[in-house]
Structure 1
Amino acid sequence: MFGIHDLTLFVISGLLLNIMPGPDSLLIMTRSATQGWRAGSAAALGIGAGTMIHIFAAALGLSALLSTSAAAFTVVKWIGAAYIVYVGIGMLRAKLRADADDAVAAETAARVAAQPLAYRKIFFQGFLTNVLNPKVALFFLAFVPQFISADSSSKPLAFIVLGCIFNFNGMLWCNGLAVFTAFASARLKVKPLVALWLNRVTGGLFLALGLRLALAEQHSS
């Protein structure tokens, strides 16, 4: 439907990406631990709203590109596949240390979340944490088109459908994380070794996806 393929792989990939620790997760966990699960859920909903901005912005950009050239979609997929392979290799080579940029972002999120806030302010905090993260925009532009067929009759609509599926699953995870953290009554931290293997598993999935696309294109040519 809508020219979407490999939906199961898309859902599994999205779940792994949501589970991986980052500034969004840290903000949810910190708010839940300090103000309860409702505060964590408010942050999660703000993050989800930010994700929707990325989804619609990317879909509109894709629509504008396709109005110029239908062949441009294939170019987008190839560039996206190259980016996914690059990210996958980087994840597979990850060591037991935090990435400098992620560490700074996580520290900022923790510091910002330190003082109690009204739920609407927490929502806005989560929204800004996500919508101002350029890595999220890159992810949607590179990742989502890989699951849309080149002959799809409505690629932007397929993009929005996949984005909404990703965001829905992400919200299930984020709200579950908020409730779990609140009931744990402590600031939970993912152990470095667990984070390392999450990186490697996701990296392997990204590498396989990029190579799978390349082989499929070669076979069809």
Structure 2
Amino acid sequence: MELTTWLSLVAICVMGAISPGPSLAVILRVTIAQTPLHGVLAAISHALGLGFWALLSMQGLAVVMAKHQQAFFVLSILGGVYLAWLGLKAIRYAGIGGEVKIEGVTSSYWQSARDAFLVALMNPKAALFFLALFSQFVQADMSVLLKLQLWATVVVIDGGWYTLVALLLAGGPALSWLRRHRIWVDRGMGGLLILLGMKVVIG
């Protein structure tokens, strides 16, 4: 995989991770109500939940590519259109719904990890997003190592960001700044998604 291609995936994953939403609310709730260690376990668990969708998407795309090359081409184009549409939507509604509500208390490491894992796992939009995103990266001759690289990129960035939130940023000025400037985070991610989608559609 070319470095520039991989960096585009990294950028989208980073922008998606730092954008305030339900996942951030769960990690903050766990960290503030309990301890940073609870937050770290929740961050790792959340990343593994997203990793499940990422792995499922890659495997599904690999099967389609191997057996139905034309169908994969159509899926790739549709994926590019979908990513562009998500980008337009992110720009149009940038900053809306940026308030992250922190409520509820968990009482154990297991409950903290479970809550974060379920937030990621019970999000069908994640499956659709990864199908669209990975349709732009999966190739017919892609090795297991490259697939692992894609999977690890998603898991490490998501888990790394929320671990950072739990250890350093919870309740600090950095997260307050992100909340105040969510509109620019949303616009930045929207622009990246549009560019990636157009790259595929236009060829």
Shorter-chain TM-score category?
0.7 to 0.9
Instruction: Give the superposition deviation at 1:96.
Output: 4.5
Post-superposition CA distance 1:128-182 (Å, at most 9, x none) = 1100011211111011221234xx4137764443122121122111100111245
Post-superposition CA distance 1:74-129 (Å, at most 9, x none) = 12211110100111111111255318xxx8xx65xx44xx2232101211111111
Structure 2 residue 162 is matched with structure 1 residue 163 = no
Aligned residue type for 1:210: G
Post-superposition CA distance 1:175-207 (Å, at most 9, x none) = 0011124574x9x55665411111111111111
Alpha-carbon spacing, 1:22–1:190, altered in 2? closer, same or farther (3 Å): farther
Q: What's 1:210 paired with?
A: 197
Match of 1:174 among 162, 168, 175: 162
Structure 2 residue 39 is matched with structure 1 residue 40 = yes
Q: How does 1:71-220 map to 2 (within 5 A)?
A: 71-98=70-97, 110-111=102-103, 114-149=104-139, 152-154=140-142, 158-182=146-170, 184=172, 189=176, 193-216=180-203
Q: Contact 1:20/1:198 (CA < 8 Å) preserved in 2?
A: yes
Q: How many pairs align?
A: 202
Query: Aligned equivalents of 1:202 and 1:72: distance in 2?
Result: 28
Aligned residue type for 1:119: Y
Where 2:69 maps in the other structure, the secondary structure is coil
Q: What's 2:69 paired with?
A: 70
Structure 2: gaps of 5 or more residues: none
Query: Aligned equivalents of 1:183 and 1:98: distance in 2?
Result: 19
Structure 1: gaps of 5 or more residues: 217-221
Aligned residue type for 2:21: G
Q: What's 1:53 paired with?
A: 52
Where 1:83 maps in the other structure, the secondary structure is helix
Instruction: Give the superposition deviation at 1:214.
Output: 2.0
Query: Aligned equivalents of 2:10 and 2:106: distance in 1?
Result: 34
Q: Taking structure 2 as the reference length, what is the TM-score of the superposition?
A: 0.87
Q: Contact 2:90/2:189 (CA < 8 Å) preserved in 1?
A: yes
Alpha-carbon spacing, 1:82–1:183, altered in 2? closer, same or farther (3 Å): closer
- Rg comparison, structure with higher value: 1
Where 2:141 maps in the other structure, the secondary structure is coil
Percent sequence identity over aligned pairs = 24
Aligned residue type for 1:209: L
Q: Taking structure 1 as the reference length, what is the TM-score of the superposition?
A: 0.80
